[in-house]
Structure 1
Amino acid sequence: MELNTVIYFLTASVLLTLAPGPDNMYLLAKSLASGAKSGVALSGGLASGIVFHTGLVMLGAAALIKASPFAFMALKFVGAGYLLYLAWQAFHEQGDLELGQNNDTLAYGALYRRGVLMNILNPKVLLFFLAFLPQFVDTGSEQLALQIALLGAVFALQAFVIFAFIAICAGRVRAFISKTRNLNRILGVVQGVVLVAIAGAILAAG
């Protein structure tokens, strides 16, 4: 694979990751509510989910899911259901926390796993990778799988760096607004609304 191709891919990946989207919105809300470390843990999970999707593209499973309406619908409803469950938790957990402390009731490992599941169960991400990655590989090469793996790793790495940066910045902003009355209640509601919106976007996807 030529260096120019990798550079073009990295540039496109960074622009796509920086574009406002569901992952960014939820990561921002979570980092504001629970702090930078929690946001970084969630970032690691979201980035790790990308590795899973890359593997499916390599194996051709993504094309199979795209070709099977039942498989796509099943993944869509499972993913949306999981997000709605997280939204229910966010609506019910908020209000009992105190900003200024480590107020996240979830361990960092649990947040990491949440990020992984959010990414894996989002069929829009899978279809995006199925359409995006092949644009930058040499389809005539005997090392097609290796090229896809490399591009997937590049995308996952840059996504983690950007997501972690967002989490750290949000964590710093959190310190300045720590005296806002009922802030955790507000942020809990924001997290819930964002998760419901993501679930709705998944269900509406064609």
Structure 2
Amino acid sequence: MRRRCDSTAGPHPLSLPRRPARTPEARGGRAWSANALNPKIAVFCTGLLPTPAPPRLPTAWAVALLVLLPTLLTLAWLGGYVLLLSKAVQVLHRPRVHRALGRTTGVVLIGFGLAVAGTAG
């Protein structure tokens, strides 16, 4: 039998305190800073980008082009991702959807674990 949560009993012991909602600009800035400070990107740009640089262009222009293209693609991808999730957040916070996502990801993770366990032995 399920017990109903009584509002006079205080907050649920596992609940996190509510934070104020972030603006789309703040979310975008956080995503940009996480991407810009990623050390893998710096290693990739300095190690791999000069290799396929077009030989007809001066080196500085070729490398700038090869850096700008992925940067613009990443900016478009993250911007679209932020916009999509900012619209979907109300749907994703519905209890029914939240439970379904939790169950689905649980089943997928258990399946992955069983697959790894089956191949490891």
Question: Normalization by structure 1: what TM-score?
Answer: 0.32
Q: What is the TM-score when the length of structure 2 is the normalising length?
A: 0.50
Larger Rg: 2
Q: Larger relative CO (CA 8 A, sep 6+): 1 or 2?
A: 1
